[in-house]
Amino acid sequence: MSLGEDALDPIRRPAQFPAVVSGNFAVDRLYVYAACTALALLCTYVLGKDMPWDMLHYHLYAGFSAIHDRFAQDYFAAGPQSYFNPYVHMPFYALVSAGVPALAIGALLAVVQSTVLWLTFELAACVSAADEQRSRVLLCSCAVALAFLNPIYIQELGSGLADVTTAVPVLAGWLLLAMAVRAPRAAYVAWAGLLLGAATALKLTNATHAMAAFVMLVMLPRPMAVLVRYVAGFAGALALGFVLVGGPWCYRLMREFGNPFFPLMNGVFRSPEFTVAPLHSYRFIPQDLGAALWRPFAMLDPVPMVHVELRAPDLRYAALVVLGAALLVRWLWRRRQQTQVARTPSTAAAQRVLTTLALLLVVDWVAYLCASGNSRYFLPMASVAAVLAVTLVMRLFAARPRVRNYVLCVILGAQAFQTCMGADHRWNPAPWGGPWFKVDMPPKLATQPYLYLTIGVQSNAFLAAFLARGSGLINFSGGYALGPRGVSGQRIEALIRKYDPNLRVLARGREPNRLLFDGALQRFALRVDMSDCQTIIEHDPPADIEASFGTATPQNPPTDVSYFVSCTVVHDVTGQAQFLAAERDADIALDRLEDACPQVFQPRRMQTEHFGSTWLRNYRNTEVAAWVDHGQVQFRSALGQGEAFHLGRESDWVLTPQPTVCGRRAGRYFANLQQSKTAP
């Protein structure tokens, strides 16, 4: 049978997909859909508007840059994230720029995001047999409830974060493949490939979900020759979906930087405007095999920084491990007793889909732990985990419905308690009312275009949408610092010449910090002019997260407003010779420290920044910072966690590399001089 004939096969016979059923189940589906959307709207309203850190850093800017071409006037305005595919953030920016009230925007987003629960319902229906009408409704409803009780899903409801939004096409693609496993159709496979390719183009972290989907094709009940054609067709559709959605942006990046995925994969394309070292955040990646095996149970702990930045306890994966082990024991026992359970064709098809989803979960789980370990990127699989957990309970206790109901109540109740009492429900909650962004912009900055040199790990690039038309931004000092040399330096110099003398520095704070500004600007032979400073006010700001070093810096208490100060910048070459000499010594010391501990300082050879008496480098992969201050070399977590490690004198490192013991222990990086007796 050819692939074309195979595509017509389901037309010649009744489809076996259980979700396509008339009668009571179809009505129940509509009730569940309506309940899911109503619950999403209610949670969005009760929890309030969310102002997450990334939204101000690059999400709003991404949508803004997708509509307004920013390549000619901006450069790394939001750091490396400036060049991620911006199309997924276009709807949010369009709603904000149109002046739609924040509550209406949140409601629209919640309606779209509630479709994750609809798709979870259909996946659960796909693993249930057609002759299990009553239990199918229970299975689907409980699976939806368990998927909804995902703390990360609730955190993102009604917000502009793209993780839950792009989970919709991923789940839709997996559902189509599950339908194909039950009743093979070439159309299901092709559409699944298109959806997963589009989801990957919108957010590249979905690539692991797209690759894991190939496992589902192996379970298609077709001969090997047909399977090969299905796999080839799926791969082609996957590529087509990616090109259709991501192709225009990749083409633009290729023209600008010589890398269609800039700044990612630069080790392959080697654009001179970014490091060629791989970018790989180790924040949530397990340290070793033991930590990886323990991760399902570690996720039970209601503390932050386990599998996501906020508190998000989740028992579903631990429950899956326990239920899977119990199911395996029962299967081995029945095999030993030579007990066989009669299966109808519908039951056999449901079992095949269940096995397929289990394989998908295992493969995607391993890929997730290796790629990031961040559960914000694992939202589609969280719905699959909910379906599997409820289905295993239904299978294990099929002969004891009362016990089954008790077990389901315990799992749902425990997860509900954890989600309500132990989880953070918003990154930065703010009351509804008025527009999403409430920015008080000084008239001068709202009407006169300037080039803004911004300072901060959080670039605050969202302000680009509120500045005067024609303004430009360069986040030259922050998470990824830019220097005056190389191709990047040439780009910055060209923009400075283009806007000169309309140059300003921009940073978070109520009062200008001359020491901070001048130290950062000096590498470009610039300084701040304190006679012309303006203050921008943003209401409902996120928490202030900045890299800290040296002695502990006091944390600003949360407030209802956030201040940004902008001052004029002028050229000044005073002291450049001394500056360059001090920078050269600091670079030698930090280069040798990186060479001594390559596993701690990644990626290497970052731009050295200058703040007062401190020469600093931030390392994005491992999230540590190393610096030289008053002749001493030190390092610690860039987020200010733990004490600083003192690594000797700068002069010693300049003379010769110092023997150093370093690594990662209990999730934290350490480094000590070899002769030091202090335990890390």
pLDDT at 480 over 70: yes
Peptide bond into 657 cis (omega under 30): no
Distance (Å, whole) CA 591 – CA 569: 31
589 close to 653: Cβ distance less than 8 angstroms: yes
Give residue 21's pLDDT: 41
**Confidence at 323, pLDDT banded by 50, 70, 90:** very high
pLDDT at 20 over 50: no
Question: How buried is 371 (Cβ within 10 angstroms: 0-12 exposed, 13-18 middle, 19+ buried)?
Answer: middle
Give residue 548's pLDDT: 42
pTM value? 0.89
Per-domain residue ranges of the chain: 19-50+100-422, 438-574, 585-673
Give residue 9's pLDDT: 44
Output b/e per residue, 263-285; b: 16+ Cβ within 10 A.
bbbbeebebebbbebebeebbbb
Tokens of 66: 């997708």
pLDDT tens by residue, 113-154: 999 999 999 999 999 875 566 678 889 999 999 999 999 999
Distance (Å, whole) CA 622 – CA 280: 8
pLDDT at 16 over 60: no
pLDDT tens by residue, 234-292: 999 999 999 999 999 999 999 999 999 999 999 999 999 999 988 888 889 998 999 99
Phi, psi of 571 (to 5 degrees): -80, 145
pLDDT at 390 over 70: yes
Distance (Å, whole) CA 615 – CA 586: 7
pLDDT at 8 over 70: no
- The average pLDDT across 381-403 equals 92
pLDDT tens by residue, 197-209: 999 999 999 999 9
pLDDT tens by residue, 488-513: 999 999 999 999 999 999 999 888 88
- The average pLDDT across 624-637 equals 91
- Mean pLDDT over each residue of the chain, to the nearest integer: 88
**Confidence at 665, pLDDT banded by 50, 70, 90:** confident
Give residue 547's pLDDT: 42
Q: Name residue 91's beta-bridge partners.
A: none
Give residue 137's pLDDT: 86
Distance (Å, whole) CA 632 – CA 639: 20
Q: How many angstroms separate the most distant Cα atoms in the chain?
A: 89
Tokens of 462: 């969202």
Question: How buried is 605 (Cβ within 10 angstroms: 0-12 exposed, 13-18 middle, 19+ buried)?
Answer: middle
Give residue 345's pLDDT: 60
Give residue 340's pLDDT: 57
Of 595 and 340, the one with more pLDDT? 595
pLDDT tens by residue, 521-539: 999 999 999 999 999 999 8
